[in-house]
Amino acid sequence: DGAVARLLAAEPPGRPTGPAVAAALWEACRQDGAVLVAGSSNPVRDLDLAARPGPVSPLVVANRGLAGIDGTVATAAGAALGTGRPVRALVGDLTFLHDASSLLLGAGEREPDLQVLVLNDGGGGIFATLEHGALGEQQEYRDVVERFFGTPHEARLDALCAGYGVPHRRADSLPELAAALAGPVRGRSVLEVRVERRELRALHARIRAAVAGPAD
């Protein structure tokens, strides 16, 4: 949607947002024909908000819609091996941590052409957009909501990837992201993009308003 594209382009500079990253990844897959694996939770919602379907759109694979993070990295690897096509997967940090062992390549096994793009917001950002997010905006509940629903962590994805022998790269801006997505997908790699959770609820509301357009 053009209104959404203009809204994302007008966002203040700083860390990229999930919808802006989803839009960039969608365009990269549209350009080079890579299969797009949509992780559950925020990534699939970001794609739903920001992707712009057209005459040529990527093949999109998802495990079970909006919910369920089990086995997403394995699904993406299987999609690459099964189709013989490069795959880009958009996942959240908790989804990635839950299934990082699927990066392991057994002796004699074929290596998938797989780029895993991890939206790292340091926890479970999805709850900011649900009813828990509204509760967390109240001062008396903020800490407990963050602990039990935000589930913050300090895991180092670069070190985790190094342990599996998988190249890791960080993109801290949309131009850096565009450069990282410009090359072909060869072998396994992880691209980490840090995003914020704090303004997520308001951003999703602005995008939905842009999609709906002015009221009659």
Non-local (6+) Cβ contacts of 70 within 8 A are: 63, 98, 99
d(CA 182, CA 176): 10
Angle between helices 174-182 and 18-32 (to 10 degrees): 20
Q: Which domains does the chain have, with CATH numbers?
A: 2-212 (3.40.50.970)
Note the pLDDT of residue 143: 74
Residue with the two structure tokens 């008396």 = 140
Note the pLDDT of residue 123: 73
Note the pLDDT of residue 215: 53
Note the pLDDT of residue 51: 86
Which pTM value belongs to this model? 0.83
Note the pLDDT of residue 212: 67
Query: Mean pLDDT by 10-residue block, N- to C-terminus, for the chain (216 residues)?
Result: 58 76 94 95 87 88 76 96 97 94 94 97 70 69 69 90 97 92 96 84 72 59
Note the pLDDT of residue 205: 73
Note the pLDDT of residue 52: 82
Non-local (6+) Cβ contacts of 64 within 8 A are: 40
